[in-house]
Amino acid sequence: MKIGNKSLVALVAATSFGAYALAADRPAPNPLNNAYFGAVHIHTGYSFDAYTNGTLTTPSDAYKWAQGEPIPASRLAPGQTIRIVTPLDFYAVADHAEFMGVFQKMRDPSSPLSRTEIAKRVTSSDPKVAMEAFAQILRDLSAHKVDPAMTDPEVSRTVWAEIVKTADAYYRPGHFTTFPAFEWTSNPNKRNLHRVVVFRDSVHVPDLVLSALDTEKPEDLWNWMQAQRDRSATLLAIPHNANASDGLMFSLSDSYGKPFTPAYVAERAKNEPLYEISQIKGTSETMPELSPNDEFAGFELWDYTLSADSERPKNHVGSYVRRALLDGLSLEAQGRGNPFKYGFIGDSDTHNAAATNEEFNYTGKFGAEFDASHRLNGFPGQPAGQVQQVREFSSGGLAGVWAPENTREAIYDAMLRKETFGTSGPHIRVRFFGGWGFKPADVRSPKFVKAGYARGVPMGGDLPAAGKGKAPTFMVWAVKDPLSGNLDRVQVIKGWVDAKGAQHEKVHDVAWSGNRKPDATGKLPPVGDTVDVKKATYANTIGAAELSAVWKDPDFDPALDAFYYARVIEIPTPRWSTRDAAKLGIDIPGGLPATIQERAWSSPIWYTVRKPR
């Protein structure tokens, strides 16, 4: 199957969307759960940084796009549209709480906001002028120098009400799910501490959401979330882009520089069950500096702080989730609890309503990146550092959940129990079960899912107490996205802390395509590469459509805490920047990889010597 076949793409789009449009009844729930794909980290023109970068889209546009309808590409390209190929199952607009909707009001001549000095620059038709205004706003935000005229709560209250109302209008239980959501955008000293906050329903949402202009401390966000629960709301927070936090996101001290208390650990675990492992601003699973023995650790690294000055972070410890999982085990082993017991999702962080998770259909993060030239070459006068940041953007990830049906309740509850997985963009499906007695035949059985639930725990779960003399066994199964590359391999990543307190990690190849055999050191040969870089094409003549295995931990010690998660790797395919370069007839800009091995990550399964908290 060759990507770029227009008739195939059109067929997939028509059949996927048609299934939504023609189904008149709600499908019966599946007690063994279905895989649903979506995103809950979506920005529209109501976010200040989206508007200043060429975006005019609305929440309504976002939900139309997710279901396969075309939407406006950019306010800089009247009449041009963008459209997803494979529609999604769930979606949530999560515009920034800071200045929510204020910049859109600057376009309205009747609004006093339109007469402010910053409005003239923000609404400029010159992208350079608007981008410079955006950069200044970022600097002012980090320095707490905010014009009071830009923080009118009545504007934000009205826009938030519209966001909630629009989510309700597009929610079709059983077919397409939406959630009320927003982003709390704490960025102390240009260090990212952002969280997306998702409500299970719209019944008890507040009339105004919390902004980082109110507080930059996550502890205050959690207190605010508890106040919403006291008013009968149900909500959770999802942190993202620890890679841009310069070590702050997974720091081992609280916002006041003090060691974690039991109350802090409990609050973080209660409010933040998930972590967004991959999105447009890169992947923050791990990196070669932290995982030198992981040959796939250098994947889509976006190594910047959230500043307009292309500043690089100095601290990578505290910035990647695998190390955070290890730090959580260390704290647990010390009897202090585990604040970093995260399940995984992927997501977008688009600022143009369109999640752009399709590598072959990438349309950029902002409206200003609506065409290939702007994505690779920038605008006249744009700083080279900003151009390079955009080139290093990923195409965006996807959130995957295993839930009985496509409803708010079912998908939210799956997120809460961490039966979730993330991908770097493709619709790769992965299941991962842990137990004490799975056999190789189990994963090959048509009833393997039933066996997984009956005799073990799914991703996101805790292994029960160890049987005497036993090591845990894991069933893993993965199937490719029909419109993406075949699968190279499936791995299980284990992390543990030894009796002396030292942290360890190991990557195990457990299933792979072809007749390859590991060498004497256990290293599996590469799958190969069919990519034609000049043409930006590839062939699915290598790899496998489906892989599965039962794996037993060969180094298990029942006295030591551990975590395990599955990682699924595709064969090499052309990166979006390679496709853009081929389209423009230019060389790939320096510093960019020509190919990408897309992937998926299951949520971890934990083994804890003490009873899980």
Task: Write the pLDDT tens digit of every residue in 87-106.
Answer: 999 999 999 999 898 887 78
Quick one: 362 and 344 in the same domain?
A: yes
| Burial tier of 465 (Cβ tally within 10 Å: 0-12, 13-18, 19+) | exposed
Q: Tell me, what's the pLDDT at 15?
A: 34
Beta bridge partners, 507, equal: 493
Position with higher pLDDT, 383 vs 449: 449
Q: Tell me, what's the pLDDT at 356?
A: 93
What the block records as the tokens of 208 is 């105004």
Q: Tell me, what's the pLDDT at 19?
A: 34
pLDDT at 430 over 50: yes
pLDDT at 109 over 50: yes
**Strand pairing category for 562-570 and 487-497:** antiparallel
Mean local confidence (pLDDT), 483-489? 98
Q: Tell me, what's the pLDDT at 3?
A: 37
Mean local confidence (pLDDT), 459-482? 92
pLDDT at 539 over 80: yes
Quick one: 141 and 90 in the same domain?
A: yes
pLDDT at 595 over 90: yes
Q: Tell me, what's the pLDDT at 302?
A: 97
Quick one: 110 and 241 in the same domain?
A: yes
Query: Which pTM was predicted?
Result: 0.93
Q: Tell me, what's the pLDDT at 13?
A: 36
CA distances from 459 to 74, 105, 599 (A): 39, 44, 17
Mean local confidence (pLDDT), 261-271? 96
Quick one: 331 and 479 in the same domain?
A: no
Mean local confidence (pLDDT), 553-579? 97
Domain boundary among 389, 423, 457: 423
Quick one: 487 and 401 in the same domain?
A: no
What the block records as the tokens of 348 is 């977008």
**Domain tally, the chain:** 2
What backbone torsions phi and psi does residue 510 show, to the nearest 5 degrees? -115, -20
DSSP string across 141-191:
HHTT---GGG--HHHHHHHHHHHHHHHHHH-BTTTBEE--EEEE---GGG-
Q: What is the per-residue pLDDT across 451-467, written as a single tens digit (0 to 9) for each?
A: 999 999 999 999 988 77
Quick one: 376 and 500 in the same domain?
A: no
Mean local confidence (pLDDT), 421-430? 98
Position with higher pLDDT, 310 vs 451: 451
Q: Tell me, what's the pLDDT at 132?
A: 77
Domain boundary among 423, 449, 482: 423
Residue 6 belongs to a domain: no
Residue 613 belongs to a domain: no
Three-state SS string over 360-392 comes to: HHCCCCCHHHCCHHHHHHCCCCCCHHHHHHHHC
Quick one: 495 and 353 in the same domain?
A: no
Q: What is the per-residue pLDDT across 199-235, written as a single tens digit (0 to 9) for each?
A: 999 999 999 999 999 999 999 999 999 999 999 999 9
Quick one: 305 and 355 in the same domain?
A: yes
Residue 382 belongs to a domain: yes
pLDDT at 476 over 60: yes
**Strand pairing category for 177-178 and 181-184:** unpaired
Query: Of all residues in the chain, what percent carry a pLDDT higher than 90?
Result: 78
If residue 210 lies in a helix (H) or strand (E), which one and from where to where?
none
| Burial tier of 595 (Cβ tally within 10 Å: 0-12, 13-18, 19+) | middle
What does DSSP assign to residue 544? B
**Least confident among 129-133, 151-155, 248-252:** 129-133
Quick one: 65 and 180 in the same domain?
A: yes
Mean pLDDT for all residues in the chain: 91
Q: Tell me, what's the pLDDT at 4?
A: 38
Residue 509 belongs to a domain: yes
What the block records as the tokens of 60 is 């309504």
What backbone torsions phi and psi does residue 130 show, to the nearest 5 degrees? -65, -40
Structural domain boundaries enclosing 224: 27-423
Residue 10 belongs to a domain: no
Q: What amino acid is encoded at 150 in this protein? A: M
Q: How confident is the model at residue 292 (pLDDT cuts 50, 70, 90)?
A: very high
Domain boundary among 423, 446, 471: 423
Residue 22 belongs to a domain: no
CATH, residue 71: 3.20.20.140
Residue 19 belongs to a domain: no
Quick one: 494 and 572 in the same domain?
A: yes
Measured distance CA(421)–CA(601) in Å, rounded:
6
pLDDT at 17 over 50: no
Mean local confidence (pLDDT), 587-597? 96
Quick one: 433 and 419 in the same domain?
A: no
If residue 279 lies in a helix (H) or strand (E), which one and from where to where?
strand 274-279
